[in-house]
A and B are shown apart, each in its own frame.
Chain A
Amino acid sequence: MTDIAPDMWAKVPAGAAVPPPPPPAPTYGQEVRRRLWANKPAVISIVFIVALVLAAFFGPYLSPHTYFRQDLKLSNIPPAFETYAVPQEDGSVTRFFLNASNFNLYEVDAEGHVLGLLRGGRKDIIKKSQPYEFGDQAVTLDYSRLPARLLLEDGTELRPSGWSWNRTYLFGTDQLGRDILVRQLYGAQISLTVAFVATLVNFCIGVFYGGIAGYVGGRVDAVMMRIVEIISTIPLTLYVVLLMVVFDSGLLSIIVAIGSVFWVDMARIVRGQILSLKSQDYVAAARTMGASPTRILTKHLLPNSIGPIIVTLTMLIPSAIFIESFMSFIGLGVTPPLASWGSLTSEAVETLRTYPHQLFFPAAAISLTMFAFNFLGDGLRDALDPRLRG
């Protein structure tokens, strides 16, 4: 018990032993950003959405094709094909591919650019064959048995020389010979515009309505909320349909129809936030302690109210995209030749049996976008929720 050095018994002056204060707690904004960046799906979603918006609004200008120009001779061309090569006397090679669904031959070059439809001789309807001539080479298209074959004069089958990507129409063409990629980008442009504008309209109505109800309170609030209650039991999608019937299809009408109907949730949330903020103990506490209004607003009110609103907003966008594509799908959306993801999907369904690949692009585009907004919404909700702090 005597092994303790005497200086160890020295009294520590008051305050000297106090450990250094912990680093200042990050501000709310920093915390939100940190949590959001730590959420990989949300970050990938942000990147995807930004890329999508850029592609949708600038992409069409970079393409030689337009969303409306039809070329029926070049309809239903796939994004990739098997080329056949027929050597010519002069040493050049004629390349073409066979569209196995409509039995047409299309000339292509070595890189995979589509040059045009090849004209053959008369079709023999009985024998189901059609002759083609390439310089001195005669080739017969035989589609009496499926899959269709190409036969040389000596009866041997012409073999494809290999797969090639379609360099002219990267995603192929639709049944009217329009470039699918450009139509996709236009579709994205319209779908996104409708979604953003309609969400904004909903947001404004919701904030206005919910704000008044929450701020005025009392009898006004009770009546306004009863109305909201009635509206929320009405099947709203039906009313978008009815409005579209009344307005006639078109970009503006679908924005108005969607924008005027789905504000109920927003109104409820805004009202709830305002009510709870009006009566929060911590706001009163902050005021009593002499906090400035700016400080109350930035430190207390905004962090606690903006979260649910932003999350609702993020979740409104995918549902607006969905409703728009849904309307377009049942023929109530934008009118052709304008395109949106919904109308593109429904066009692709018409040719589903013969050209299933055409369904892939609009289906993938809308699904990925919905994914991105869902992940972003989830990520934002987790990042903004102050209860999960710490």
Chain B
Amino acid sequence: MIGYLAQRLGMMAVTLFAIITLTFFLMHAVPGGPFVSERMLAPEIAAALNAKYGLDLPIWQQYLNYLGSIASFDLGPSFKYPGVSINSMIAAGLPVTLQTGLLAIICVVALGVPLGVIAALNRNRWPDTTVMFIATLGVAIPSYVIATVSLYVFALRLGWVPTFGLDDWRGYFLPVFALSGFWISFVSRLTRSSLLETLEQDYMTTARAKGLKPGQILFKHGLRNSLLPVVTVLGPVVANLVTGSFVIEQIFALPGIGRQFVLSITNRDYTAIMGITIFYAAILMVMILIVDLLYVWLDPRIKLTKAAA
């Protein structure tokens, strides 16, 4: 177990290093550099700015400096907002993004799994067809369409919820719904097919042959095994919620990291783009690690094979 964890942490470090390197060189491949784009600066001012941010140094030195500052958890200053650090930008947006993201994950698990179970247990009867119809809608309709349409219907037309902001608790409804809609549908479809497959397994017949009660059979033998694939997608869920938050925070005017990121793109604030990307990647990797550990805990077969590999 310890060995496995160490191996995973090592992999994470390698991946993160690859991401930082890739991001750094991608951002420095932008023609012209950060101060060329809009206003024509006097050459001496541009030179002074370049010197201030270390942009006059050779690229490999800039790269080493950047790696160094990241190692001390400093993502550097913003190019567009003098005096503002990327760390403070992230710190300002994190609570909003974290709140909506966590609520969305809770919704995915708390709604997606039960709906899938209901569908599987009522295979080809109306609860199944209804759930699967809605889930197909949910998988097909892009999150920003769900967001805008629900914004129009529930906020503008019916006035049930505020159109933007999180000051009111009802303000959480639409962003969380739009963020989690796809994954609730996805997870319910996955749970359904996985449970149906599990129900056909021989060990389910064994469980019935033991005379176990239906509830025991379903929860102890059926669900535990059929939830394994669901756990695997929780990693991608987190990744998707992150990218989903770009548009959702934009549409509902939520001051989170996603909106900050889109704003940085529009502003061509390269250090901010770079910093937020790396921050996201790090968060994701931690999440994926947690999910993998959860998986190992759920499925005893993994322990041996992975640790041996």
Contact = CB atoms under 8 A, between A and B. Distances in A.
A and B touch in the complex (CB under 8 A): yes
Interface of A: 229-230, 233-235, 237-239, 241-243, 245-246, 318, 322, 325-326, 329-332, 342, 345-346, 348-349, 352-353, 356, 359, 363, 366-367, 370-371, 374-375
Interface residues of chain B: helix, strand, loop or mixed (majority)? helix
Going nearest first, the 6 A-B pairs with the smallest beta carbon separation are: A370-B140, A237-B243, A371-B140, A363-B145, A367-B141, A235-B239
Contact of B273 (A245, A326, A356, A374): A245
B125 to A, nearest CB: 19
A233 B12 CA distance: 9
Contacts of A342: 144
Nearest to A369: B140
Nearest to B288: A233
A371 B140 CA distance: 5
Interface string B136-147: 110111101100
Contact of A246 (B29, B240, B246, B280): B29
Given A233-B288, A330-B265, A353 B281 contact: no
Contact of B265 (A233, A241, A325): A241
Given A242-B273, A352-B156, A353-B156, A330 B284 contact: no
B265 A235 contact: no
B140 A238 contact: no
A246 B29 CA distance: 7
A326 B144 contact: yes
A356 B156 contact: yes
Given A238-B281, A330-B250, A366-B142, A230 B148 contact: no
A366 B140 CA distance: 9
Contacts of A330: 246-247, 250, 262, 265
20 contacts: A230-B15, A233-B284, A238-B242, A238-B243, A238-B277, A242-B26, A242-B27, A245-B27, A245-B265, A246-B29, A329-B247, A332-B265, A342-B144, A345-B144, A359-B148, A363-B149, A370-B141, A370-B142, A371-B136, A375-B136
Nearest to A241: B265
B18 interface: yes
A43 to B, nearest CB: 16
A345 B280 contact: no
B305 interface: no
B308 to A, nearest CB: 15
A384 B55 CA distance: 56
Size category of the B interface is: 35 or more
B148 to A, nearest CB: 5
B19 A234 contact: yes
B23 interface: yes
Given A235-B284, A245-B26, A353-B156, 5 more contacts: A230-B14, A238-B243, A246-B26, A348-B148, A374-B139
A222 B15 CA distance: 16
Contact of B15 (A234, A245, A326, A353): A234
B266 interface: yes
Interface of B: 11, 14-15, 18-19, 22-23, 26-27, 29-30, 136-137, 139-142, 144-145, 148-149, 151-152, 156, 239-240, 242-243, 246-247, 250-251, 262, 265-266, 268, 273, 277, 280-281, 284-285, 288
Nearest to A368: B140
B288 to A, nearest CB: 6
Contacts of A241: 265
Nearest to A240: B243
Contacts of B18: 230, 234
A348 B140 CA distance: 20
Contacts of A318: 140
B282 to A, nearest CB: 10
Contacts of B277: 238, 242
B152 A238 contact: no
Contacts of A230: 11, 14-15, 18
A127 to B, nearest CB: 29
Contacts of A243: 26
Contact of A234 (B136, B148, B281): B281
A242 B140 contact: no
A279 B242 CA distance: 40
Contacts of B15: 230, 233-234
Contact of A235 (B140, B247, B251, B281): B281
A356 B14 CA distance: 48
Contacts of B284: 233, 235
A344 B108 CA distance: 29
Nearest to A346: B144
Contact of A359 (B27, B136, B149, B266): B149
A363 B273 CA distance: 29
A140 to B, nearest CB: 30
A374 B148 contact: no
A260 to B, nearest CB: 12
